[in-house]
Amino acid sequence: MNLACPIELGDLAERLAGTCVGNPHLLLTGVNGLAEAQRGELTFFTNQRYRDHLATTQASAVILKEEALEHFPLAEGKGAIVCGDPYLAFAKASSLFHPAPVFEPGIDSRAIVEPGAQIDPTATVMACAYVGKGAIVGPHAVLFPFVFVGEDARIQSRALLYPGVVVRERCVIGEGSILQPGVTIGGDGFGFAFDASVPCHFKIPQAGTVEIGREVEIGAGSAIDRATLGVTRIGDGTKIDNLVQIGHNVTVGPLSILCGQVGIAGSSSLGKGVICGGQVGLGNHLHICDGTRLGPKSGVMADVTEPGEYLGVPLVKARDFMRQQVAIQKGPDTLKALQKLERRVAELEAKLEAINEK
Give the domain 7-97 fold: 3.40.1390
Q: What is the reported pLDDT for 74?
A: 83
Q: How many other CB atoms sit within 10 Å of the CB of residue 69?
A: 15
Q: What is the reported pLDDT for 77?
A: 84
- State percent of the chain over pLDDT 90: 86
Q: What is the reported pLDDT for 192?
A: 97
358/122: higher pLDDT: 122
Determine the Cα–Cα distance for residues 94 and 329; give it in Å rounded to an integer. 44
- Is residue 358 pLDDT above 90, yes or no? no
Strand pairing partners for 172? 154, 211
Domain 106-319: assigned CATH number: 2.160.10.10
Mean pLDDT across 52-58: 92
* DSSP, res 6: P
Which tens digit of pLDDT belongs to each residue from 175-218?
999 999 999 999 999 999 999 999 999 999 999 999 999 999 99
What are the DSSP calls for 122-149, one per residue? T-EE-TT-EE-TT-EE-TT-EE-TT-EE
- Is residue 3 pLDDT above 60, yes or no? no
Mean pLDDT across 78-103: 94
Q: How many other CB atoms sit within 10 Å of the CB of residue 355?
A: 8
Which tens digit of pLDDT belongs to each residue from 131-146?
999 999 999 999 999 9
Q: Which of 57-66, 69-78, 227-236, 272-281 has the lowest mean pLDDT?
A: 69-78
Mean pLDDT across 206-233: 98
Cβ(202)–Cβ(193) below 8 Å? yes
Determine the Cα–Cα distance for residues 39 and 91; give it in Å rounded to an integer. 20
Mean pLDDT across 40-50: 94
pLDDT classification of 262: cutoffs 50, 70, 90:
very high
- Is residue 38 pLDDT above 60, yes or no? yes
Q: What is the reported pLDDT for 1?
A: 39
Mean pLDDT of the chain: 95
Q: What is the reported pLDDT for 217?
A: 98
Mean pLDDT across 77-99: 94
- Active site residue ranges: 248
Residue in 12, 1, 20, 4 with CA at minimum distance from that of residue 78: 20
Determine the Cα–Cα distance for residues 54 and 52; give it in Å rounded to an integer. 5
The residue type found at 278 is G
Q: What is the reported pLDDT for 323?
A: 87
Q: What share of the chain is helix, strand, coil (3-state, %, to 5)?
A: 20, 30, 50
Domain residue ranges in the chain = 7-97, 106-319, 326-358
Q: What is the reported pLDDT for 315?
A: 93
Q: What is the reported pLDDT for 4?
A: 55
pLDDT classification of 73: cutoffs 50, 70, 90:
confident
